[in-house]
Structure 1
Amino acid sequence: LTTVAYGMFGKTSNSNLNWYEAPDPRPDYYRYLPSYNTIENPSIAATQNNDWTTGNTDVTQIDWDALYNANYKNLYTVDDPNGAVGTNLIGNRSKYIVEEYRQDPRQFGLKVLYNADIKDNFYLSSGAHVEIYKSKNYKLMSDLLGGEFWVDVDQFAQRDFSDSLSAQNDLGNYNNIIDKGDVFGYNYDINVHTYDAFANLDWKSSKFDGFIGLNLSNTTFWRTGHMQNGRFPDASLGDSEKQNFFNYGVKGGLLFKLTGRHLISINGAYLTRAPLSRNAFISPKTRDHLVKNLESTEVLSGDINYTVRYPNLRARVTAFYSQINNQVWSRSFYHDEYNAFVNYVMTDVDQLFMGTEIGIEYTLASVWVLSGAFTTGDYIYSNRPKATITADNTQELIAEDRTIYLKNYDIGGMPQLAGTFGLKYNSSKYWFVGVNWNYFDRMNLGPNPDRRTEEAVSSFIVTDPQWDETLDITELDGGYTINLFGGKSWRLSSGKYLRLFVSVSNILNNTDFKTGGYEQLRYNPGEIGKFPPKYGYMYGLTYFGMVTYQF
């Protein structure tokens, strides 16, 4: 019997620019890019294109001086600051700020494990697990950029509503004056309680091994709001209704020992799991409204493996299959057709992952090791999900049960073909050095679901170029990297060791390799290039070093 208690806490922060009644400061804002002027102002587009290709920092970088100057000159009077009716505050109100999106998780758990030999090579392993998770989510003022204060109101709500209360992000702090380090905008917790138990039965024999397993779990989650939002005063403060999901899973596998060096194994599993709490709420920053008809996700998976084991050669070939059904996909973005910031939720999202993997390692003359791995597969959407679109600030239902034609589209965001080849030298004097060549291909950007609808192409015919521009996937070219690594170990005395490890990645400094990205959710059906994809590129040459002392 083994009992394990654990705890984890931390902080995650992502910074972002925000602005109030001011021009967008981002260099890649669509109106500042060549694609915006290509048709109507080609000469301006040519100049902009030259600025970007030559790296003109006046165009490609944020003009921080301009942001500070705008804040220095913005003398402003705030009525009823911090709810003090009849008073006012005069000072430089920041037009531009740097804010932090904070997520501070806390996780505590208890595991009890029990293992027993039953008889005749049968073994039982079982256990129970309790986990309490809380994620504190809020926005923090990082830098006023030369201004004296920020007012915690929603400028889009000021545009959409005639009353001043609707624009308040926290009705408990009317016209809340924000200084550096203050929490503002939103403040809520996501609570998740999980209870599960499992039992596995393993058996072994001279010709085959096997196992079967069962898992039962219950997941409860809810939102706790710490601000009363002016747009949703009855759905933002306090605890939401608790959501409960009972789930189960079964798994099994067999290992056939053809000989001592040739093995075949087959594994399979079917399980259900609770929807992710971060996708369950339509817009958790402002309210506790849930995605309609939430259900558990279903997973069916299996694999078959052939393994070879010799003193100098180890290899394995695997074929795998995984079908994940009934998922939720949720995003928020500005929708040009509706002239509104919207919450876009897809339900009944099914995905299929299937492919093969090959791994091999060969030792030559006891000091040289050749290794290689290769994988190829198809990772696709396997059905046509349904989408619901609501206005973020009003919860107005814009579209419901819209069919998304994603079936057979690549999921994107990952290579569907990858390989690596390595060579390593192990010295008898306790040092080693090696090199790896890595290749990635068949990469696509994740598709924007709203572009794969009848509505997106309703104004075109099949022969129009806009038809294919709207529906085609965005493909990326393949690429490779070369990495070096090495290390050494020293035995000091009485079981004490000093170890050094060093690695250098992408030694060719290949920074033109696009490793991923995404199609912008905001798009113009008649001019897809106006909101071009965002790409991520391979880091240049990077290095890492580590020294460890064992005693």
Structure 2
Amino acid sequence: MDKKLLFIFIVLFSLHSSAQEEYRIFGKIITKTSQKPLSFAVISIQNSNITELSNPEGKFELKIPFGGKQLLAVRSQGYKELLLPITLANSKTIDLGILSLEENVVSELQNNWIVLDDSDLNEDASTSENTSSLLQSSRDVFLQASAFNWSQARFRIRGLDSENASMLLNGVTMNKIYDGRPQWNNWGGLNDVLRNQEFTLGTTTSPYVFGGVLGTQAITTRASMYRKGTRLSFSGGNTNYNWRAMASYASGSNKSSWAYAIAASKRYGNQAYFDGSQYNAESFFLSIEKKINRKQFLNFTGFYTPNERAKNSPNTEEVTQLTNSKYNSYWGEQNGKIRNARVKTVSEPVIMLNHYFKINEKTQLNSAVSYQWGRISNSAIDYQNANSPDPTYYRNLPSYYLSMYGSDNGEYSGDFLPNYTEAEKSKQAFLTQPQIDWESLYKANQETITDADGRIVGYQPSKSHYVLYEDRVEDALFSANSAVYTRLTDQITANAGISFKKLKSHNFQYLTDLLGGTPFEDIDAFYTGDQSQSNLQEPNRKVKENEIYGYNYNLQALVADAFTQFSFTYKKIDFYLAQTFSVTHYQREGLFQNGLYPTTSLGKSASLHFENFGFKGGVTFKISGKQWFLVNGYYATKAPTLQNVFPNARLNNAVVEGIDSETISSAECSYVYHASKLKTRATAYFSDFKNGTNVSFFYAEGIFEKGFNHNNTDAFVGQTLSNIQKQYCGAELSFEYQISPTFKTILAANYGQYRFANNPNVKLVNDAQASVQNTNPVFDFGSSVLKNYKVAGTPQQAVSLGFEYRDPHYWWIGVNGNYLDERYVEVAPISRTKMFFKNPVNGYLFPEATEERASELLKQEKLPAISLLNLVAGKSWRFKTNYVGLFGSVNNLLGKVYKTGGFEQSRNANFRELNQDVSSENPSFGPKYYYGYGRTYFVNMSVSF
């Protein structure tokens, strides 16, 4: 909208507003148990944008520009919501007196039921981009079902992953620049001090940021906002960890205008639900606030949550049938102790300073600076001139001898006779040693010492064939932002904000354990000569423990954005308009001169520049004081994430050809009814994402024509999928009915259709091509026919029906049944290109590749529907102003075994390879699946005083 038109628009509404009547409502909020004032309680008029906070004395004043019957709502974290009908008629001033809020014991206990499941933690898996940070504690039944019930099956709200939602701490956006997603581990274990939250779903207004298409989650850690007192809790469970201990203390504001809050926790699991998946985490938190004067406050927040989590493997159907759904191939025993080769470590402290400035009664300015540094690492085993240490490596499994896999690089067309004898031997060998054999890895790195008679008398280190390393990222992120809120008139409020982020991200391979051997050669054993060198500036370097090798580069990013938002509130209608503009810069700096790319790997890449904008708006029609109808619209462009800009960042400075911003448009409409007994919401939504980009890596066989790599048709490739369009449409239902003062029923439902809406383009990077001909290693495979394939990774349909009983004697029990369906395996784009049907040996189409057979092979796999039964219960005791709470839950009460997701392997990269593998009925490279938890439990006991 033109600035002049916007100014005229505001002036007209200001003139209109001056003629309106104004009502003033006064009151004081206290706690029911202690009778003490309750500060920072939210007082609002339902179906409007009129909101105020109670001051430290619990007092508030609400100005309302319209009369009639209204519904006043009072909310505060940890207390039951108070709904009070009022009539604004003759008197312009109403004193409500003292309003007391009762503690919400159930909410307090539920807040301890926060166990990050593997779908939240395993964000490195392509099918697990979850949005259900279980830190959220919304009152909306649908959001509660998403967080506490459906998350077991990796449900994603509206099918979208968390990069489409903005996660804020004290106004600072915590989404990572690298992939756009919050790193939940950075604040895990701090439940007690992360309860002051505001959550908006979809594209509705947020006072802090323009926001993503999925919504915003804003957490505040001001020390003065915490309820004074101490809280201790101890938990036990069998999901990711076995036990958890937490402690927190808040001082409240003292006479010297200081306030502070501290918290610490420990989570530990020697053997969690999945085999070999250890967990170890600590958390520390500090918030200190100083009241400078009656208008200005300074608050320092710092937290540090170092944690280590051993991962669990996705498995093929063959592996699961040989073992069980808990099987994990990533670990083995060493000296009688479990040792997992794939451990994720997160150690990123955060410090921030916030300045809160109440300029006058109508305007507030909040500013913040923050700094985050540390590392995220993922360990694995590297090996040279040796067999794969993975016990599920395809040559170790029976299917290798029962399938027609790999017989002739795509030329085979005759009969195949399975070798049942060798298959049985392979099966028995696998069952005898189904885990990583650490002892054999150490022996492979040593040579025997013999005496004069040739007898083995010992071992000594020799050339390392196996080592343990980490893919490590060390980030240093500086952030600064400022946001202003002002009430222009009684009907018009304005929000505006600016933010700036500067990131330096050091990415490298780090050797952590030589596994008993001598220093490791810093080469790529698949190549020879200069092409094998990781760094031509130090050729044939011997790498010792705690040294960098393999790849080494920096990623740099600068992001600046600004937004404005205007909200208009009237008796029968509210509406808002918001806009944003951002500038993004990316650059890579290579620190190694790689032998495959000697001229394009060292030094700085071209600087990438993206300018983006966005608009959103919405209208609320107030049908009555209890019901209203909302319509919201959203259109924005968004810079690609840092991970999808450089297709081969580990080796060179190349940039994705034609990379550009993604375009996002969305619309939603809702009907809401909110009364004392019945609360319901029905929402229809549609989102369209265009021009997306995704970079991935895999090993493919039979993918290139002979002649590119010494007549080898196989290669490890980087795949860039560009011009991706996805559409998400559906409907949500939230229903809560208080049947009696002690008994209520809840219903939540989602019906979605999430699909690819076009045929994106596929390009592959083959490093072997660069080594052989020193030419462009990028191959354009054309379009991948993905249109109408389903977006994987989440149930598209979900229903939750529950009943809850709350006894007046402070105990409660709830049961919840859930049904989730329309879940699909992620497909391999390379298998849907024209090149997939081309014989790499002679360049002709495979004669057996009929349309009927292709349709059968490439049909997207649908996973079976899931039915889950959950049970929760709690009890609290009050001793004067002290509380003791006991909470317990059993999820998947019936112990159902189910898959939470999966993905097709891209190894069979041409039609004949895939057809032969599948036709054997014992595929070596069938889809890999993730499994959900069986019957799990969680018990928590807390003491507040």
Question: Is TM more than 0.5 here?
Answer: yes
Q: Could you list the per-position Cα deviations for residues 334-370 of structure 1 after superposition, in whole angstroms to 9, with x for gaps in the alignment?
A: 2212222112112111111111111111223222232
Separation in structure 1 between the aligned mates of residue 541 and residue 716 of structure 2, nearest angstrom: 24
Is 1:258 aligned to 2:623, yes or no? yes
Residue 411 of structure 1 deviates from its aligned partner by 1.8
Separation in structure 2 between the aligned mates of residue 4 and residue 513 of structure 1, nearest angstrom: 45
Is 1:18 aligned to 2:398, yes or no? no
Judging changes above 3 Å, is the alpha-carbon distance between structure 1 residues 548 and 58 closer, same or farther for their aligned structure 2 residues?
A: same
Judging changes above 3 Å, is the alpha-carbon distance between structure 1 residues 113 and 431 closer, same or farther for their aligned structure 2 residues?
A: farther
Judging changes above 3 Å, is the alpha-carbon distance between structure 1 residues 366 and 385 closer, same or farther for their aligned structure 2 residues?
A: same
Counterpart in the other structure of 2:401:
37
Separation in structure 2 between the aligned mates of residue 282 and residue 258 of structure 1, nearest angstrom: 52
How many residues align structurally? 528
Separation in structure 2 between the aligned mates of residue 462 and residue 235 of structure 1, nearest angstrom: 40
**Letter matched to residue 372 of structure 2:** M
**Letter matched to residue 729 of structure 2:** M
Is 1:343 aligned to 2:718, yes or no? yes
Separation in structure 1 between the aligned mates of residue 424 and residue 548 of structure 2, nearest angstrom: 39
Separation in structure 1 between the aligned mates of residue 931 and residue 613 of structure 2, nearest angstrom: 40
Contact 2:397 2:423 survives alignment (8 Å): no
**Letter matched to residue 375 of structure 1:** N
For 1:139-178, list aligned pairs within 5 A: 139-158=509-528, 163=529, 165-178=530-543
Tell me the SS of whatever aligns to 2:532. Answer: coil
Q: Could you list the per-position Cα deviations for residues 243-283 of structure 1 after superposition, in whole angstroms to 9, with x for gaps in the alignment?
A: 11110000000111112222111101000010111010011
Is 1:27 aligned to 2:405, yes or no? no
Q: Determine which of 562, 568, 576 is the counterpart of 1:203.
A: 568
Is 1:63 aligned to 2:443, yes or no? no
Counterpart in the other structure of 2:692:
327
Is 1:190 aligned to 2:555, yes or no? yes
Separation in structure 2 between the aligned mates of residue 275 and residue 150 of structure 1, nearest angstrom: 37
Contact 1:218 1:246 survives alignment (8 Å): yes
Aligned CA-pair RMSD: 2.7
Superposition TM-score, scaled by structure 1 size: 0.88
Separation in structure 2 between the aligned mates of residue 10 and residue 483 of structure 1, nearest angstrom: 38
Residue 36 of structure 1 deviates from its aligned partner by 3.0
Separation in structure 2 between the aligned mates of residue 471 and residue 433 of structure 1, nearest angstrom: 47
Is 1:300 aligned to 2:300, yes or no? no
Q: Could you list the per-position Cα deviations for residues 135-185 of structure 1 after superposition, in whole angstroms to 9, with x for gaps in the alignment?
A: 332222233223222111111122xxxx2x321212333322223332221
**Letter matched to residue 117 of structure 1:** R
Contact 1:460 1:467 survives alignment (8 Å): no
- Structure number with greater Rg is 2
Separation in structure 1 between the aligned mates of residue 944 and residue 591 of structure 2, nearest angstrom: 47
For 1:240-279, list aligned pairs within 5 A: 240-279=605-644
> 462-471 or 147-156: which moved more?
462-471
Residue 444 of structure 1 deviates from its aligned partner by 0.9
Higher-RCO chain (CA-CA 8 Å, sequence separation at least 6): 2
Separation in structure 2 between the aligned mates of residue 232 and residue 545 of structure 1, nearest angstrom: 55
Judging changes above 3 Å, is the alpha-carbon distance between structure 1 residues 403 and 479 closer, same or farther for their aligned structure 2 residues?
A: same
Contact 2:800 2:817 survives alignment (8 Å): yes
Is 1:525 aligned to 2:911, yes or no? yes
Q: Unpaired runs of 5+ in structure 1?
A: 76-89
Contact 2:399 2:423 survives alignment (8 Å): no
> 120-129 or 65-74: which moved more?
65-74
Counterpart in the other structure of 1:516:
901
Tell me the SS of whatever aligns to 2:794. Answer: coil
Separation in structure 2 between the aligned mates of residue 49 and residue 252 of structure 1, nearest angstrom: 66
Q: Determine which of 505, 517, 536 is the counterpart of 2:891.
A: 505
> 146-155 or 192-201: which moved more?
146-155
Contact 2:790 2:824 survives alignment (8 Å): yes
**Letter matched to residue 492 of structure 2:** F
Q: Determine which of 117, 121, 126 is the counterpart of 2:496.
A: 126
Judging changes above 3 Å, is the alpha-carbon distance between structure 1 residues 56 and 240 closer, same or farther for their aligned structure 2 residues?
A: closer
Contact 1:71 1:95 survives alignment (8 Å): yes
Tell me the SS of whatever aligns to 1:60. Answer: coil
Separation in structure 2 between the aligned mates of residue 548 and residue 5 of structure 1, nearest angstrom: 34
Contact 2:781 2:834 survives alignment (8 Å): no
Is 1:439 aligned to 2:825, yes or no? no
> 318-327 or 398-407: which moved more?
398-407
Residue 309 of structure 1 deviates from its aligned partner by 1.5
Counterpart in the other structure of 2:867:
480
**Letter matched to residue 33 of structure 1:** L
Contact 1:355 1:375 survives alignment (8 Å): yes
Q: Could you list the per-position Cα deviations for residues 81-123 of structure 1 after superposition, in whole angstroms to 9, with x for gaps in the alignment?
A: xxxxxxxxx9511212222222333333112111111124011
Judging changes above 3 Å, is the alpha-carbon distance between structure 1 residues 544 and 527 closer, same or farther for their aligned structure 2 residues?
A: same
Separation in structure 2 between the aligned mates of residue 36 and residue 119 of structure 1, nearest angstrom: 75
Q: Determine which of 506, 526, 544 is the counterpart of 1:136.
A: 506
Separation in structure 2 between the aligned mates of residue 428 and residue 8 of structure 1, nearest angstrom: 46
Separation in structure 1 between the aligned mates of residue 862 and residue 687 of structure 2, nearest angstrom: 24
For 1:217-236, list aligned pairs within 5 A: 217-236=582-601
Counterpart in the other structure of 2:808:
428
Separation in structure 2 between the aligned mates of residue 497 and residue 417 of structure 1, nearest angstrom: 40
Contact 2:498 2:561 survives alignment (8 Å): yes
Tell me the SS of whatever aligns to 2:699. Answer: strand
Separation in structure 2 between the aligned mates of residue 273 and residue 350 of structure 1, nearest angstrom: 14
**Letter matched to residue 342 of structure 1:** V
Is 1:316 aligned to 2:681, yes or no? yes
For 1:312-461, list aligned pairs within 5 A: 312-337=677-702, 338=704, 339-393=714-768, 394=770, 396-397=776-777, 399-400=779-780, 402-457=782-837, 458-460=845-847
Residue 202 of structure 1 deviates from its aligned partner by 0.4
Tell me the SS of whatever aligns to 2:912. Answer: coil
Separation in structure 2 between the aligned mates of residue 5 and residue 543 of structure 1, nearest angstrom: 41
**Letter matched to residue 42 of structure 1:** P
Separation in structure 2 between the aligned mates of residue 300 and residue 108 of structure 1, nearest angstrom: 30
Counterpart in the other structure of 2:473:
103
Separation in structure 1 between the aligned mates of residue 878 and residue 551 of structure 2, nearest angstrom: 54
Q: Unpaired runs of 5+ in structure 2?
A: 1-364, 404-415, 450-459, 705-713, 838-844, 919-923
Residue 387 of structure 1 deviates from its aligned partner by 1.5
Separation in structure 2 between the aligned mates of residue 43 and residue 449 of structure 1, nearest angstrom: 32
Judging changes above 3 Å, is the alpha-carbon distance between structure 1 residues 67 and 105 closer, same or farther for their aligned structure 2 residues?
A: same
Q: Could you list the per-position Cα deviations for residues 17-76 of structure 1 after superposition, in whole angstroms to 9, with x for gaps in the alignment?
A: 221111222232223333333244524389459949xx963253333333222222399x
**Letter matched to residue 400 of structure 2:** Y
Tell me the SS of whatever aligns to 2:445. Answer: helix
Separation in structure 2 between the aligned mates of residue 224 and residue 490 of structure 1, nearest angstrom: 60
Tell me the SS of whatever aligns to 1:281. Answer: coil
Q: Could you list the per-position Cα deviations for residues 167-217 of structure 1 after superposition, in whole angstroms to 9, with x for gaps in the alignment?
A: 121233332222333222122222221111100010111111111100011
> 356-365 or 391-400: which moved more?
391-400
**Letter matched to residue 265 of structure 1:** L
**Letter matched to residue 511 of structure 2:** M
Judging changes above 3 Å, is the alpha-carbon distance between structure 1 residues 358 and 178 closer, same or farther for their aligned structure 2 residues?
A: same
Judging changes above 3 Å, is the alpha-carbon distance between structure 1 residues 357 and 156 closer, same or farther for their aligned structure 2 residues?
A: same
Contact 2:815 2:872 survives alignment (8 Å): yes
Residue 377 of structure 1 deviates from its aligned partner by 1.2
Judging changes above 3 Å, is the alpha-carbon distance between structure 1 residues 47 and 220 closer, same or farther for their aligned structure 2 residues?
A: same
**Letter matched to residue 391 of structure 2:** P
Superposition TM-score, scaled by structure 2 size: 0.53
Judging changes above 3 Å, is the alpha-carbon distance between structure 1 residues 47 and 379 closer, same or farther for their aligned structure 2 residues?
A: same
Tell me the SS of whatever aligns to 2:857. Answer: helix
Contact 1:74 1:94 survives alignment (8 Å): no
Residue 538 of structure 1 deviates from its aligned partner by 0.8
Separation in structure 2 between the aligned mates of residue 207 and residue 262 of structure 1, nearest angstrom: 11
Separation in structure 1 between the aligned mates of residue 566 and residue 425 of structure 2, nearest angstrom: 64
Contact 1:498 1:550 survives alignment (8 Å): yes
